[in-house]
Amino acid sequence: MSGLGRISHRDISSEIVRRIAERLWEPGALIPGEQALAAEFGCSRATVNRALQDLARSGILERRRKAGTRVSLNPVREARFVIPLVRQEIEAKGAAYGYRLLGCEPVTPDEELRARLGFGKPARMLHVRCLHLADGAPYQYEDRWINLDAVPEAGGVSFSAVSPNEWLVTNAPFSRAEFIFRAAHAGGEEAALLGVPEGGAVFVAERLTWLADKPVTFVRMVHPPSHRVVTEL
Amino acid sequence: MSGLGRISHRDISSEIVRRIAERLWEPGALIPGEQALAAEFGCSRATVNRALQDLARSGILERRRKAGTRVSLNPVREARFVIPLVRQEIEAKGAAYGYRLLGCEPVTPDEELRARLGFGKPARMLHVRCLHLADGAPYQYEDRWINLDAVPEAGGVSFSAVSPNEWLVTNAPFSRAEFIFRAAHAGGEEAALLGVPEGGAVFVAERLTWLADKPVTFVRMVHPPSHRVVTEL
DNA sequence: GAGTGGTCTAGACCACTCA
DNA sequence: GAGTGGTCTAGACCACTCC
């Protein structure tokens, strides 16, 4: 606790974390109520409430009305990953962003892709493939399908200067998305483009988005094995 | 807005989201100040503040003192991944959980590991290696280091029946964690244990945890390439 | 310097849930 | 029913940052 001035909710948070760390309050144990803590710290209940809510949000505490507040038995049930634009991701690392369009053509999706997107009937889609570079080195191979029924304007875009990633962010809102992370073996073309041996390990992120139950886009983003997805809690 | 009763911070949040979705407030635009919104909604500034802070935390708004509150130009989309216990993860798929301890020994961490954990000085750690199986098939190879200064009780646990994953969850609270997802090539031992060819692609999840700036544990979880981390928004 | 968000207070009422 | 957290109010002061 900072000896001067008023008590901040951060002071309370860190003091509570300290007590948990030092086993004064064991996992699963009930901790004092908000009134008691407010009295102890000499601050208002609202301040204690904010500190406890912060800790509950981060999974350290569990709160239930009437039952009180407990130290979590199994903290952290979820991790949050930020999904930025590729360009921002690259520039944030201090590297120069590069972009190369590899192909852009209207196609009729095959059975597998339609099943994936939850399409009943065939549809017109745009297939765009491109490469994102960091300081000239391959960073991400983007293999994307855009549903022209959901985003008809995409049909008139060349994607030679602006990547589909960036164009869609400001032109195709979505209400639901699904992410998949996995490891895979690089296929022939991907391998050559990313500069990894054929069959070598690559990191794959896939994203599907819908706007009001209508598929918008499916994208497969392939990274060299040096890629890392990082998050902090 | 709900016509009855007081205005909730949720009412304000959803109304603001609606205005952004309908382009009444364009990306990058300045929105009214807290006082103005409080007057408009007929509630106190604290309530507006809470709504705006929630939206700023989720990346929809950007706030700066004196500059005011703006609609984010690139709404940061974030993905939430649940990080369950391995056993729960396997049982949730309807498979039978199996566990095999491979090794458990006190060690002094090398330079690289200490740098990773932010250790200044050497420390006593416990190195535990084990395998988690789903219906008898290798599911995850767990390679873990536990800081015995932070969790001394771990020194007295055999980990032959209970996995370190499960033991730590109920015995070693933490206040900060870092997750990393990546692809890698399987090393000799891992490959054999997971039943993949040596050098084949594997999915690696790493987790570091701290309790009040003291490192608690570092774990490397290696999965066969069939593994998928999935999330929905 | 002035305007904005950040936070704390003291009090109040409500909603949920356990006994 | 009673106790706990959840939330709102009205007011205040502060900290930061832009002009």
Q: Are residues B64 and B176 in the same domain?
A: no
Contacts of A73 in chain B (CB under 8 A): 169-170
Q: Are residues A42 and A130 in the same domain?
A: no
Question: Does the pLDDT value for residue A166 go beyond 80?
Answer: yes
Q: Are residues A133 and A187 in the same domain?
A: yes
What's the mean pLDDT in A199-223? 88
Strand C, nucleotides < 7 Å from a protein CB: these are 2-12, 15-18
Looking at the structure of chain B, the number of domains it has is 2
Q: Are residues B59 and B120 in the same domain?
A: no
Domain interval for residue B59 = 9-71
Q: Are residues B166 and B98 in the same domain?
A: yes
Q: Are residues A106 and A60 in the same domain?
A: no
Contacts of B178 in chain A (CB under 8 A): 230-233
Inside any domain, residue A231 = no
Task: For chains A and B, count residue pairs whose Cβ atoms are closer than 8 Å.
Answer: 152
Contact A178 B227 (CB under 8 A): no
Inside any domain, residue B164 = yes
Share of chain A above pLDDT 90, in %: 53
Inside any domain, residue A197 = yes
Q: Are residues B115 and B164 in the same domain?
A: yes
First to last CA, chain B: 24
Question: Does the pLDDT value for residue B156 go beyond 60?
Answer: yes
Question: Does the pLDDT value for residue A133 go beyond 80?
Answer: yes
Hey, is the C-beta of A185 within 8 angstroms of any chain B C-beta?
A: yes
Question: What is the rounded average pLDDT for all residues in chain B?
Answer: 88
Question: Does the pLDDT value for residue A75 go beyond 80?
Answer: no
List the single residue in A with minimal CA-CA distance to B180. A230
Res B4: pLDDT: 52
Measure A55 CA to C9 C1' (Å). Answer: 22
Q: Are residues B65 and B91 in the same domain?
A: no
Inside any domain, residue B107 = yes
Hey, is the C-beta of B232 within 8 angstroms of any chain A C-beta?
A: yes
Inside any domain, residue A55 = yes
Distance from CA of B37 to the nearest CA of A (A): 22
Question: What is the rounded average pLDDT for all residues in chain A?
Answer: 87
Residue A205 in contact with residue B182, Cβ under 8 Å? Answer: no
Hey, is the C-beta of A197 within 8 angstroms of any chain B C-beta?
A: no
Inside any domain, residue A143 = yes
Q: Worst-scoring range by mean pLDDT, A27-31, A55-59, A72-76, A202-206?
A: A72-76
- Give the DSSP H/E element, type plus range, for residue A209: strand A201-211
Alpha-carbon distances of B202 from A66, A141, A229, rounded to whole Å: 47, 19, 15
What's the mean pLDDT in B199-223? 90
Q: Are residues B128 and B192 in the same domain?
A: yes
> At which residue do the structure tokens 């244990």 appear?
B193
Inside any domain, residue B233 = no
Q: Are residues A202 and A177 in the same domain?
A: yes
Which is more confidently placed, B26 or B199? B199
What's the mean pLDDT in A123-149? 93
CATH number at residue B100: 3.40.1410.10
Q: Are residues B187 and B144 in the same domain?
A: yes
Inside any domain, residue B33 = yes
pLDDT, tens digit (0-9, with 9 covering 90-100), for B18-62: 888 777 898 889 999 999 999 999 999 999 999 999 999 888 899
Hey, is the C-beta of B195 within 8 angstroms of any chain A C-beta?
A: no
Distance from CA of A191 to the nearest CA of B (A): 13
| Cα separation, B113 vs B216, whole angstroms | 13
DSSP letters spanning A124-189: -EEEEEEEEEETTEEEEEEEEEEETTT-GGGGG---SSS-HHHHHHHH---SEEEEEEEEEEPPHH
Share of chain A above pLDDT 70, in %: 92
Q: Which nucleotide is closest to the Cα of A6 by its C1'?
A: C8
A52 Cβ nearer than 7 Å to chain D strand = yes
Of A79, A182, A229, the CB nearest to B225: A182
Hey, is the C-beta of A110 within 8 angstroms of any chain B C-beta?
A: no
